[in-house]
């Protein structure tokens, strides 16, 4: 009977440890994704700051130039993701998908600051014994703000 209690205790400990490691892995993926998205938005504003300011000052919408191709090219610049025409994705050494991102939707508002908001879904497959059981879909929204200064 003592063996059964020990086995159950080890099994529960292993399950809890597995959940903690899975949660940590998922949170790392979410954080990395948000940081890359913020980098892309800041890069866009830095490269086009004069054109954005003049366009907003004249009452026009310049952010439509933050198109899908620009986002993909800058998001892929570190070389860790691939693009298949529909998703940005990361694969492991065996070819299994670690996570995918849907194409981002970028919006903006202007009220003494330029507020860019980028929304997309992060899709992480949940596996058990090497097979995908389900896919965890996490909606991500990244907001960056830039002060508009006349110069």
Tens of pLDDT, residues 119-147: 899 999 988 877 888 999 999 999 888 77
For 85-120, give one letter per residue: b (16+ CB within 10 A) or e: eebbebeeeeeebebbbbebebebebeeebebbbeb
pLDDT value, residue 66: 61
- Give the pLDDT mean for 60-67: 58
Question: Model's pTM, two decimal places?
Answer: 0.74
Is the pLDDT at 20 greater than 90, yes or no?
yes
pLDDT band at 68 (very low <50, low <70, confident <90, very high): low
């Amino acid at each position: 009977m003592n063996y059964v209690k020990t086995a159950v205790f080890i099994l529960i400990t292993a399950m809890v440890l597995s959940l903690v490691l899975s949660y940590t892995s998922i949170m790392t993926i979410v954080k990395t994704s948000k940081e890359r998205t913020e980098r892309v938005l800041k890069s866009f504003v830095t490269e086009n700051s004069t054109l954005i300011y003049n366009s907003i000052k004249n009452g026009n919408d310049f952010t439509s130039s933050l198109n899908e191709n620009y986002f993909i090219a800058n998001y892929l610049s570190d070389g860790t993701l691939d693009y298949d025409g529909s998703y940005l994705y990361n694969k492991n050494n065996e070819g299994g998908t670690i996570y995918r991102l849907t194409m981002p939707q970028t919006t903006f508002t202007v009220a003494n600051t330029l507020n860019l908001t980028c929304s997309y879904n992060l899709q992480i497959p949940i596996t058990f014994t090497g097979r995908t059981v389900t896919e965890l879909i996490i909606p991500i929204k990244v907001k960056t703000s830039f002060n508009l200064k006349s110069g």
